Amino acid sequence: MTEADQDAAPLPGTSALRADCGDCFALCCVALPFSVSADFAVDKPAGLPCGNLRDDFRCGIHSRLRGGGFSGCTVYDCFGAGQKVSQVTFGGRSWRSNPRSARQMFGVFPVMRQLHELLWYLTAALALPAARPVYPAVEALREEIEAVTLRDAGEVLGTDVAALRGRTGELLLRASALARAGAKPGRRKSRRGADLLGARLAGADLHGADLRGACLIAADLSGADLRLADLLGADLRDAELSGADLTDGIFLTQPQLQQSKGDAATRLPPGLRRPAHWRS
What's the distance, Cα to Cα, between the start and end of the chain in Å? 22
Residue 226 to residue 217: CA distance in whole angstroms: 16
H or E segment and range at residue 147: helix 135-149
pLDDT of residue 187: 56
Task: Provide the residue count of the chain.
Answer: 280
Name the CATH superfamily housing domain 188-280: E3 ubiquitin-protein ligase SopA (2.160.20.80)
For the cut 80, the answer to whether the pLDDT of residue 140 exceeds it is: yes
Fill in the DSSP letter of residue 211: -
The percentage of the chain sitting over the pLDDT mark of 70, rounded to a whole number, equals: 96
CA 64 to chain CA centroid, Å, is 22
From residue 148, alpha-carbon distances to 28, 96, 152, 160 in Å are: 21, 26, 9, 10
pLDDT digits (tens, 9 = 90+) for 192-222: 999 999 999 999 999 999 999 999 999 999 9
For the cut 50, the answer to whether the pLDDT of residue 156 exceeds it is: yes
pLDDT of residue 33: 94
Torsions phi, psi for 113 (to 5 deg): -60, -40
221-260 burial string, b = 16+ CB within 10 Å, else e? bbbbbbbbbbbbebbbbebbbbbbbbebbbbbbbbbbbbb
Domains of the chain, residue spans: 15-180, 188-280
pLDDT band at 185 (very low <50, low <70, confident <90, very high): low
- In this structure, the dihedral spanned by the alpha carbons of residues 26, 78, 139 and 166, taken in order and rounded to 10 degrees, is -130
For the cut 80, the answer to whether the pLDDT of residue 189 exceeds it is: no
Question: Measured at the alpha carbon of residue 85, what is the angle toward residues 84 and 90, in degrees to the nearest 5?
Answer: 120
Reported as half-sphere exposure (CB side, CA atoms, 13 A), residue 40 has a value of 17
For the cut 60, the answer to whether the pLDDT of residue 2 exceeds it is: no
CB 224 within 8 A of CB 266: no
pLDDT of residue 6: 47
pLDDT digits (tens, 9 = 90+) for 29-46: 999 999 999 889 999 999
CA quadruple 158, 123, 268, 242: dihedral sign? positive
pLDDT of residue 174: 97
Residue 278 to residue 261: CA distance in whole angstroms: 6
pTM for this model (two decimals):
0.92
CB 1 within 8 A of CB 21: yes
